[in-house]
């Protein structure tokens, strides 16, 4: 990687590491959001199927 000078390893490691951790964090937050919504939907379907069927917002 001639564009980045003799210490390109560190630059690449820094950017890749940050990208990796940032991506993981974003994924983790989004995944937990999906998980919670799924559990709520399941619980709603179990306890109040008539409300869910009617499509009324809670």
Partner 1 sequence: MSSVAEKPNWFSRLANPGQFLIWSRLVNRPLAVVTGLVFVAGLYYALLHSPADYQMGETVRIMYIHVPNAWLSQFVYGVMVVSALGSLVWRHPMADVSMKAAAPLGAVFTGLALYTGSLWGRPTWGTFWEWDGRMTSTLVLFFIYLGLIALWRAFDDQLRAGRIVAVFTLIGAINIPIVKFSVDWWHTLHQPASVFTPEGPHMPMSILMPLLIMTLAFTLLFTSLQLLSMQVEVRRRRLATMEKRRAYAAGTPN
Question: Which residues of this chain interact with partner 1, rule CB under 8 A?
Answer: 3-8, 10-11, 13-15, 17-18, 21-22, 25-26, 29-30, 32-33, 36-37, 39-40, 43-44, 46-47
Q: What Rg, from alpha-carbon coordinates, does the chain have?
A: 22
**Beta carbon nearer to partner 1, 21 or 49:** 21
Place of tokens 């069927």: 53
Q: How far is the CB of 14 from partner 1 (least distance, A)?
A: 5
> Taking CA 27 as the corner, what is the angle to CA 44 and CA 8, rounded to the nearest 5 degrees?
180
Distance from chain centroid for Cα 45? 24
**Beta carbon nearer to partner 1, 7 or 55:** 7
């Amino acid at each position: 990687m001639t564009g980045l000078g003799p210490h390109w390893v560190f630059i690449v490691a820094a950017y890749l590491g940050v990208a990796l951790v940032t991506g993981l964090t974003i994924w983790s937050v989004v995944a937990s959001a999906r998980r919670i919504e799924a559990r709520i939907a399941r619980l709603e379907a179990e306890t109040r199927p008539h409300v869910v069927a009617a499509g009324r917002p809670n």
